Amino acid sequence: MSRNKPGATHRAPASRSSVSLKSLAEHLGLSQAAVSFVMNRSPNAKSIPQHTQDLIRKAARELNYRPNHLARSLRQQRSFTIGVLVPEISEGYAALVMSGIEDHLLQEGYFYFVVSHRHRADLLEEYPLLLQQRAVEGLIAVDTAIAEGLQIPSIAVSGHREVPGVTNIVLNHARGAMLALEHLYKLGHRRIAFIKGQEFSSDTAIRWQSIQDSAAALGIEIDDRLVVQLKGESSSPELGYNVTQQLLGSGAPFTALFSFNDVSAIGAIQALRESGRRVPDNVSVVGFDDIQSAAFQNPALTTVRQPLRQMGMTAAETLLQRITNAGQDSYPKEIVVEPTLVVRASTAPIP
Amino acid sequence: MSRNKPGATHRAPASRSSVSLKSLAEHLGLSQAAVSFVMNRSPNAKSIPQHTQDLIRKAARELNYRPNHLARSLRQQRSFTIGVLVPEISEGYAALVMSGIEDHLLQEGYFYFVVSHRHRADLLEEYPLLLQQRAVEGLIAVDTAIAEGLQIPSIAVSGHREVPGVTNIVLNHARGAMLALEHLYKLGHRRIAFIKGQEFSSDTAIRWQSIQDSAAALGIEIDDRLVVQLKGESSSPELGYNVTQQLLGSGAPFTALFSFNDVSAIGAIQALRESGRRVPDNVSVVGFDDIQSAAFQNPALTTVRQPLRQMGMTAAETLLQRITNAGQDSYPKEIVVEPTLVVRASTAPIP
DNA sequence: AACTAATAGTAAATCGCTTTACTTGAGCCT
DNA sequence: AGGCTCAAGTAAAGCGATTTACTATTAGTT
């Protein structure tokens, strides 16, 4: 199955124990300082003639010298590492934000630790501390209520509490709610059901408030019997499925459903279908987020799109700026991004 | 919107510049060594009487001492950090494996760096080196061809090449293919279309080989016109959509489709539907992986389940074992996990 | 010839911890 | 009184870099 090609040692001689600055300097008959200056293109290197510089770089290449990042971090008090705190590593929301974060971060030479707290209070408390012990230079919390009193610059993606030292990156929820409700309103819907998010979700309160405001502005009345709330920790569509059954059980009629997010909307559609209702013929459904699979549902999901990747990139970019400009203690308290309505096939005019 | 509760300073006095071992020792009037022994419960601490130990721990708590992990790692030559290399974060497959990895890792006190290479050859080459520079103690590559000559223990989830130093965690593909084909066979299907994975996907070759073997064993003939291959880097269902259109364009009739993975199966179903075919009434579709959203497709997807989370956990567990037992150079070359067939609503007897 | 300036570096401290080898004083024994 | 053991620590090296403050040699100037 696998052959050992005899002449295939095209890699460098794989220096068993990795070479250190010390061994490299000895090999060259120079001081560690000289080598360090040259390798880092430090201003001090100007006292080293070009010829010697070339020799140093050549030897470094040949011996495959790679400076130990730990040692450098310790000395410089700079780790080029940040921490990312998410509720859970899964397909939807967090994954998209993380991919945006990574995009910007790696490009700037930073690495990051990911930790997921799964809404456990002890982990929420402990992880930021552990991350700081590991000398991260900043923290990005995704959909996570961040504790006060952090020593390092922090960004909260979808954070809404005003915490000293924290930049919140938030969606314009007023607009998001209005886009969705206006769309339904224009299709003739008046009896609209709502699925609220769990208490622990950062966006739950603000989104619900925005919905109430938009509904009032449009003259849509919200029937309490048509409002349910997701229950449970998991991020599976099942949660949406469950509360939709509850909604159907109440007997109150509705022609549209606006769900807290796409994942729950997907579960909701399944429940509607099983109850004999067709989407969008009998009930229109609007989701929120526009996760990757939203476009490939059947019917394809109409949803309020959050620019999640963009939010991740902005988070990383802002964080690095704050780290680099440390000292200035002015920093943005809030950055607002705009939603868009993506109309697909899960909404239609009232029957 | 946000209130400042005046009496809310229930946290410790937030010691501005974090306390070091040195300052803690000075504060106590003891040597750094003594404090270190006690804090680490080192055997050396037996020479420190209980009373002093209590004093040390009390002071550490009060001053909120947190040892600098960088310094410790440097000294001990142990970073308690590993690297995880994935093609892309925002995808069903990798996300599930990562969540398994994290589960085991964090629990054992390890942290991890994630990097995604997006199939770029330069990154594939560079990232393992950068990770080693950052002193990771091991590497887990997910669905990624790992380079030879790594200095550290490595695990390849869905790796199939035999590389020295690497443990492959693989699915029993022979069984996976057989489960799916047998299922279709029993439903009466004989004209079956196939979507193969991209060349760069680790599982593509073995899975296709297994399919051919199973088909032969069952007496199913594979029509070349009914075999297409995913094209493109992205992990969106669109790729499956595209090749299914191609399949339909060929005009060759088929009653079932076995797709490389769930994501492409979802796109395929969309294409089938748009062509006027109904799933499963006219065409049965089987996916592979059982990603989270598979159960919530319409129709719910019949698929070969890979225990992805389990594979991640096993990867982490095996890696930590190999790290801990460093020295022994015996290690598992391959760990096989078993698939299961999850029958849902996308398959039915032939029309 | 003496002084200055530039060139080509080097020695050593430092980051914050761990860990080995040693010291100091007290108590006990003979 | 001298030696031995034990308790309770301490001093200092070392992990692998970076960085500040020097030094030794040569060349040029007056």
Q: How far is CA B169 from the centre of its chain?
A: 11
Nearest to A115 among B106, B130, B295 (CB): B106
What percent of chain B lies above the pLDDT cut of 70? 95
User: By the 8 A CB rule, do B119 and B200 touch?
Assistant: yes
| Smallest Cα distance from B81 to chain A, Å | 9
* Tokens (6 digits) for A142: 């995704």
pLDDT in tens, B111-127: 999 999 999 999 999 99
Distance CA B237, CA A90 (A): 17
Task: Count other C-beta atoms under 10 Å from residue A49's C-beta.
Answer: 9
pLDDT in tens, B178-195: 999 999 999 999 999 999
Q: Which residue has the tokens 């009739």?
A: B253
Question: Residue B321: which residues within 8 A CB-CB, separation 6 or more?
Answer: none
Sequence letter at residue A213? D
Q: How many residues does chain B have?
A: 351
Contacts with B241 from chain A: Cβ below 8 Å = 296
Helix, strand, or coil (residue B27): helix
Q: Does B246 touch chain A (CB under 8 A)?
A: no
List the single protein residue with the shortest CA to C1' distance from C15: A75
pLDDT at A92: 80
Which nucleotides of chain D have an atom under 7 angstroms from any protein CB?
7-12, 14-21
Bridge-based pairing of strands A340-342 and A302-305 is antiparallel
Distance CA A310, CA A283 (A): 32
Band of pLDDT at residue B5, cut at 50, 70 and 90: very low
**Sign, CA torsion A216/A218/A219/A220:** negative
Q: Does B106 touch chain A (CB under 8 A)?
A: yes
Distance CA B85, CA B112 (A): 10
Could you give the strand order of the β-sheet that contains A340-342, starting from the edge strand earlier in sequence? Answer: A227-229, A192-196, A256-258, A284-289, A302-305, A340-342
Q: DSSP state, B47?
A: G
Q: Which residue has the tokens 């989104």?
A: A207
Sequence letter at residue B77? Q
pLDDT in tens, A110-164: 999 999 999 999 999 999 999 999 999 999 999 999 988 899 999 999 999 999 9
Q: What is the dihedral of CA B81, B87, B88, B92, to 10 degrees?
A: -100
Interface of A with B in 283-312 (CB under 8 A): 292-293, 295-299
Distance CA B218, CA B181 (A): 8
Using the beta-carbon criterion (under 8 Å), do A297 and B297 form an inter-chain contact?
yes
Predicted TM-score (pTM) of the model is 0.93
pLDDT at A235: 86
Give the residue, B347 or A146, on which the prediction is more confident: B347
Contacts with B73 from chain A: Cβ below 8 Å = 70
pLDDT in tens, B241-291: 999 999 999 999 999 999 999 999 999 999 999 999 999 999 999 999 999
Residue B239 has pLDDT above 70, yes or no: yes
User: By the 8 A CB rule, do A181 and A221 touch?
Assistant: no
**Spacing of A75 CA from C14 C1' in Å:** 7
**Spacing of B229 CA from D30 C1' in Å:** 85
* Tokens (6 digits) for B31: 């040597």
pLDDT in tens, A195-249: 999 999 999 999 999 999 999 999 999 999 999 999 999 888 999 999 999 999 9
User: By the 8 A CB rule, do A186 and A174 touch?
Assistant: no
Please calculate the CA angle A50-A54-A56 and round it to the nearest 5 degrees.
Answer: 115
Residue B12 has pLDDT above 90, yes or no: no
Distance CA A164, CA A153 (A): 10
Question: Residue B77: which residues within 8 A CB-CB, separation 6 or more?
Answer: none
**Spacing of A74 CA from C15 C1' in Å:** 5
The pLDDT mean for chain B works out to 93
Could you give phi then psi for residue A196, rounded to 5 degrees? -85, 160
Please calculate the CA angle A299-A301-A302 and round it to the nearest 5 degrees.
Answer: 125
Q: Does A115 touch chain B (CB under 8 A)?
A: yes
* Tokens (6 digits) for B6: 């005046």
Band of pLDDT at residue A329, cut at 50, 70 and 90: confident
Q: How far is CA A258 from the centre of its chain?
A: 23
Task: Count other C-beta atoms under 10 Å from residue A186's C-beta.
Answer: 10
Say whether the CB atom of A49 is under 7 angstroms from strand C: yes
* Tokens (6 digits) for A156: 């909260």
**Spacing of B77 CA from C24 C1' in Å:** 33
> Which of B257, B161, B143 has the alpha carbon at shortest distance from B198?
B143
pLDDT at A17: 59
Q: Which residue has the tokens 């066979």?
A: B185
* Tokens (6 digits) for B104: 């085991």
Q: How far is CA A319 from the centre of its chain?
A: 13
pLDDT at A327: 74
Q: How many residues does chain A have?
A: 351
Distance CA B148, CA A346 (A): 49
pLDDT at B250: 93
Distance CA B13, CA B10 (A): 9
The pLDDT mean for chain A works out to 93
Distance CA B309, CA A214 (A): 41
Question: Residue A238: which residues within 8 A CB-CB, separation 6 or more?
Answer: A267
What percent of chain B lies above the pLDDT cut of 90? 89
Secondary structure (H, E, C), chain A: CCCCCCCCCCCCCCCCCCCCHHHHHHHHCCCHHHHHHHHCCCHHHHHCCHHHHHHHHHHHHHHCCCCCHHHHHHHHCCCCEEEEEECCCCCCHHHHHHHHHHHHHHHCCCEEEEEECCCCHHHHHHHHHHHHHCCCCCEEEECCCCCCCCCCCEEEECCCCCCCCEEEEEECHHHHHHHHHHHHHHCCCCCEEEEECCCCCCCHHHHHHHHHHHHHHHCCCCCHHHEEECCCCCCCCHHHHHHHHHHHHCCCCCCEEECCCHHHHHHHHHHHHHCCCCCCCCCEEEEEECCHHHHHCCCCCEEEECCHHHHHHHHHHHHHHHHHCCCCCCCCCEEEECCEEECCCCCCCCC
User: By the 8 A CB rule, do A345 and A299 touch?
Assistant: yes
Residue B2 has pLDDT above 80, yes or no: no
Could you give phi then psi for residue A227, rounded to 5 degrees? -115, 120
Using the beta-carbon criterion (under 8 Å), do A112 and B111 form an inter-chain contact?
no
